[in-house]
Amino acid sequence: MQTLEVEIYDEYIALNDLLKLCGVVDSGAAGKALVASGAVMVNGVQELRKTNKIRPGMQVQVDDAVLIHVVAGSEQPD
């Protein structure tokens, strides 16, 4: 399983946007479709809300292929 650590600089990021940011999908719409298919888990629980707010400290898993750890970024890059 591929493991990624993603820094976010806001309070949260929408689940479908996180999947796009990590390169799991090519677009936000594809992210929504992936979530709707039931292939995404957040903190070990299947997630069907496409724009669920993902905050630092949460983990997102896509099938058995990708595990994303979300952390708070200390300083937003320019």
pLDDT in tens, 32-54: 999 999 999 999 999 999 999 99
What confidence score (pLDDT) does residue 55 get?
98
Q: How far apart are CA 34 and CA 31, in angstroms?
A: 5
Coil, strand, or helix at residue 17? helix
Domains annotated on the chain, with CATH: 2-72 (3.10.290.10)
Arithmetic mean of pLDDT over the chain: 94
